[in-house]
Amino acid sequence: MDDIKANFIGGEWVAGHDAAPNVNPSDTSDIVGLYARGGSAEVDQAVAAAERAFAAWSRTTPQQRHDVLKTIGDEILTRRDELGRLLSREEGKTLAEGLGEVGRAGQIFLFFAGEALRSGGEVIASTRPGLGIEVTREALGVIGMITPWNFPIAIPAWKIAPALAYGNCVVLKPADLVPGCAHALAEIIARSGLPAGVFNLVMGPGSTVGQAMVDHPRIVAISFTGSVATGRRIAKACTASVPLKKVQLEMGGKNPLVVLDDADLDLAVECAVNGTFFSTGQRCTASSRLIVTAGIHDRFVAATARRLAALVVDHALKPATQIGPVVDEGQLQQDLSYVSLGQTEGAQLVCGGQVLNRDTAGFYLAPALFTEADNRMRIAREEIFGPVGVVIRVGDYDEALAVANDTEFGLSAGICTSSLKYASHFKRNAETGLVMVNTATAGIDYHVPFGGRKGSSYGAREQGRAAVEFYTTVKTAYTFAG
Ligand code: NDP
């Protein structure tokens, strides 16, 4: 049992009722570690510890909260190389991508260390004589966080950091597939000076640990990132529970990248390859629909296919690798089923889509590109979450915009054009939370709001100063001074 990585509850490392191996998707013979799995009993303990810690933590000074967050951010950045390797080993994104994600997580803690110092309110004149009004923000209480496998450190960071900055206590359940980074983050938090119980980690499957959190009457809010189906179930449960839970959901995307005739071809190909295939296409902001006007279509497809053929798909930790493996066997099978579905639906597979063998046994898939796709096809409507691009040919800008917006999702949208007129029109009319001009649909800054519309997101935005909306509640105080 000694080498099983434990849950972190009430300031103590607590064993689960069983443990699961964390398997490297680049090499399935490499076990990253054995991680404890909790259940509803551990969730109960964690919520009780968080509740006990809340009264004192929510009344700490901004300086105390700043200092803790800065300590956490500094250690993440100091240990960036080691944590980046762990991330790439457990999730399969390339080392460069893993290092980038860890750097982002560290910067997020530093950003919210600053935000902790900024807390304040407004003094507003009353419409009635003798009254004064103050509008302030208060912490919510115990917040449950349920995170996916595709950003194992950045997503926990962008939920935990604002929660702590504004005085809340936390119970985190990371994805069962990738508990390593969340556990390493818990170790860093454990020695940061944060009082016992303010942050708790309970690892294990969503169906047990996650469900117990969603059902727990003393968790006041749930922040979730993951699939649409799970997100919808969680929202339903949170709004049906007594008392009602505040809920925030970040879910899928089917993000369009529009390429117009007047685009810089090299730049457009770069945006498409980066946005669609980097991080093995496993990003909610991935550009899975490439909507291309007829005048540049054939040149764009030929140049993109050439780039894809030259990409190195291999073990995430090899220096030359540009695309790592798919995260696990289940996701690989899902990707392959969409590759075969696309052909059945009548799209043309220009390249890729086959399983690749490498020196180590992993889940390697050649990046796939479809052309002659129609926006009504399932490969153009459903989130594949793998290295699969779908090119849709359109006549002009107006058709491109209409196709871009014809989706149940609304996370990110991009356009490649040299026209100020079309770029400006697209920025105003894309029905998404993020819009990109001449840059990939994926790849975002850490200090500005993140989130989408329609079926992609629900509730307040995450990240940047917008995070205060979810992690605090507003109080309006009236004082009669005579
Ligand atoms: P899920 O929505 O199943 O998982 C996300 C998180 O929710 C995980 O921590 C999971 O736990 C947890 N969870 C699962 N069921 C419940 C439940 N009943 N109650 C509470 N929590 C629960 O997504 P997957 O990771 O399985 O990925 C499936 C698909 O979702 C992908 O193929 C992709 O399309 C999409 N996805 C989108 C992401 C995005 O950022 N938009 C991120 C990841 C996935 P656990 O995994 O431990 O069982």
Give DSSP secondary structure letters for 59-128. Answer: TS-HHHHHHHHHHHHHHHHHTHHHHHHHHHHHH---HHHHHHHHHHHHHHHHHHHHHHHT---EEEE-SS
CB atoms within 10 A of CB 142: 27
Dist CA 265 CA 260 (whole Å): 9
Distances 137 to 117, 124, 447 between C-alpha atoms, Å: 13, 14, 20
User: Domain spanning 256-437 has what CATH number?
Assistant: 3.40.309.10
Q: Which atom of ligand 1 is nearest to the CA of 250?
A: 41
Among 169, 181, 238, 284, which one carries the catalytic annotation? 284
Q: Which residue among 37, 146, 224 is best mutated to probe the pocket of ligand 1, counting the most ligand atoms within 8 A of its Cβ?
A: 146
CA torsion angle 80 438 91 246 (round to 10): 90
Report the nearest-CA residue for atom 27 of ligand 1: 227
Give the model's pLDDT for residue 275: 98
CATH class as words, domain 4-251+456-480? alpha beta
Mean pLDDT for the chain overall: 97
Q: Say how far apart CA 470 and CA 467 lie, in whole Å.
A: 6
Q: Of 356, 175, 389, 358, which Cα lies nearest the Cα of 278?
A: 389
Tell me how far apart the alpha carbons of residues 160 and 462 are, in angstroms, rounded to a whole number: 11
- Nearest to 98, CA basis, from 261, 313, 316: 316
Q: Does the structure show a pLDDT above 60 at 1?
A: no
- Same-fold call for 4-251+456-480 versus 256-437: no
Mean pLDDT, rounded, for 381-388: 97
Q: Find out whether the beta carbon of 337 lies less than 6 Å from any atom of ligand 1.
A: no
Catalytic residue flag (residue 101): no
Task: Tell the residue number behind the tokens 């105003």, with chain if given.
Answer: 428
Catalytic, 12? Answer no
Q: Give the pLDDT score at 210.
A: 98
Q: Where are the domains of the chain?
A: 4-251+456-480, 256-437
215-235 mean pLDDT: 97
At 118-147, the pLDDT tens digits run 988 999 999 999 999 999 999 999 999 999
Count Cβ atoms below 10 Å from residue 395 Cβ, excluding itself: 10
Give the model's pLDDT for residue 119.
84
**Predicted pLDDT at 203:** 98
Cα(123) to ligand 1 centroid in Å equals 42
Furthest-apart CA atoms within the chain: distance in Å: 81
- Among 22, 227, 384, which residue has the most ligand 1 atoms within 8 Å of its CB, making it the best to mutate? 227
**pLDDT (mean) for 149-168:** 98
Phi, psi of 71, rounded to the nearest 5 degrees: -60, -45
Determine if ligand 1 sits within 6 Å of the CB of residue 148.
yes
pLDDT confidence bin for 415, thresholds 50/70/90: very high
423-442 residue pLDDT tens: 999 999 999 999 999 999 99
- Spatial distance between the Cα atoms of 390 and 379, rounded to a whole number of angstroms: 7
CA distance 50 to 70: 21
Residue 214 CB less than 6 A away from ligand 1: yes
pLDDT tens profile 267-287 = 999 999 999 999 999 999 999
Sorting pLDDT into bands at 50, 70 and 90, what band is 2?
Answer: low
Average of pLDDT values for 155-168?
98
Q: What is the predicted pLDDT for the residue at 55?
A: 97
Task: Tell whether ligand 1 has an atom less than 6 A from the beta carbon of residue 167.
Answer: no
- For the Cβ of 226 lying below 6 angstroms from any atom of ligand 1, the answer is yes
What average pLDDT score do residues 153-168 get? 98
Written as six digits, the tokens of 253 are: 């995307």
Tell which residue, 76, 235, 252, 69, has the closest CA to residue 148: 252
pLDDT tens, position by position, 100-120:
999 999 999 999 999 999 988
| Residue with CA at minimum distance from ligand 1 atom 11 | 206
Angle at 155 between CA 152 and CA 339, to 5 degrees: 65
| Residue of 250, 270, 383, 462 marked active site | 250
If you search the block for the tokens 């993440």, which residue do you land on? 76
% the chain with pLDDT above 70:
100
